[in-house]
Chains A and B, each alone.
Chain A
Amino acid sequence: MTQVPIFNPIASQDKATLEKIALISGQDIYQCMQCGTCSSVCPMVETMGMTTRQGIHLLQFGKTAAVMDARIGELCASCHSCMVRCPRGIDVAKVYDAVRQLTLRENINLIDLNEIPKETLTDAPQIAFVSSFRKLTS
């Protein structure tokens, strides 16, 4: 006779990652009630592999790898539209910043300085380099 599990616990490895995300972001993702407001106001959501709401949902179940693959953290521009509108008071930008930090802290860059075209290096303002390197290099 097969036993039907009534609760699918999060794998210990994923649990450790979630704890890290909680520590870095200072946010409680279990406060999220899946209203989707964050996704509806996110200016970059269409370019992400899933919506910000879906990302939080998967995180709640410990599916951190899927959220990292969706590049939500990389594509967030930290505009805080989601944060000021979240009815549950979650700073969503901070959650995804923590997800991005997980990659950066493995000494992996999310933008390659050597790949930036020379025309961009001479054309773009300093502020573009400072901000993107801060957000996307380790």
Chain B
Amino acid sequence: MGDKKQDELQMIPVYIMGKKYDVPAELTIMKAMEYAGYQLIRGCGCRGGVCGACATVYRKAGDYKIYTGLACQTVAEPEMYLAQLPFYPANRATYKFDEIEAQAETIFALYPELFRCVACNACTKVCPMDVQVMDYIAELKRGDIEKAAKTSFDCIQCGLCASRCMGELPQYHIAQLARRLAGGKLAPRSEHMAEIVRQINDGAFDKWIADLKAMDQDQLKEVYSNREMEPHMGDENWRPKENRGLVS
């Protein structure tokens, strides 16, 4: 929008939960909703397309198909009928991670509904992250935890798959268990991680934390605003100027 004045903006009609609003074109769905007067408390998180809080379902005028997107990433279109889905109930099994084994049977016992999948593929079609949901469910049915962990890697836990599943599976929770088992029990351990954990336990960072704790709000704001960020397109040799915290 930038410098354009309100009357220069091209306005488009969108229907939010059935009610029509005219909103400026080129806004994301989330901004369009805020423009229309919605104050988002749930269904809004990182605004960067990774947290999975703002799953949105919409239809286009005269089109039978269901479309989905993240409200913070998807640009509003004229005549869009939309509703946000801040949360979708799905069975999430409880387990003690230390006590379960990285085998297919662990998943079968915690999520027997896995076997109700009929391969209709509605989950994959609805996924805003283009994850091959049906495929990772197929991989889990055959007990391939590592492959399912890879296939489901881009999942952001928005729950849209579960909302469309005719077998009533909580796909994204099952995939999360698979990734936990794969990452926590099957993948080789990372040695530099162990080293940094050792340093933390040895108190190498205690002074830093103490310094932060001693600051007042304004000081904290300043430190935060001036923090050093890795450039978006930084090459692999990029190193921060502040390097006291790096593993040597």
Using CB atoms, name the residue of chain A closest to B116.
A133
* Nearest-Cβ distance from residue A108 to partner chain B, whole angstroms: 14
Contact of A113 among B113, B118, B141, B142 (CB under 8 A): B113
Instruction: Check B108 against A121 for contact (C-beta < 8 Å).
Output: yes
**Does B245 make an interface contact (CB < 8 A)?**
no
Instruction: Check A121 against B105 for contact (C-beta < 8 Å).
Output: yes
**Does B88 make an interface contact (CB < 8 A)?**
no
Contact with A along B51-67 (1 / 0, CB 8 A): 00000000000000000
Interface pick from A4-12, A43-51, A77-85, A122-130: A122-130
Instruction: Check A129 against B115 for contact (C-beta < 8 Å).
Output: yes
A-B contact count (CB 8 A): 29
Interface size counted on chain B using CB atoms at 8 A? 12
**Chain A contact surface mostly:** helix
Q: Which residues of B contact A113 (CB under 8 A)?
A: 112-113
Q: Which residues of B contact A134 (CB under 8 A)?
A: 116, 118
Using CB atoms, name the residue of chain A closest to B167.
A133
Q: Which residues of B contact A129 (CB under 8 A)?
A: 108, 112, 114-115
Instruction: Check B109 against A122 for contact (C-beta < 8 Å).
Output: yes
Can you add 10 more A-B contacts, CB < 8 Å, to A122-B109, A130-B115?
Answer: A116-B112, A121-B112, A126-B143, A129-B114, A129-B115, A130-B141, A133-B113, A133-B115, A134-B118, A137-B116
Using a CB–CB cutoff of 8 Å, the interface residues on chain B facing chain A are: 105, 108-109, 112-116, 118, 141-143
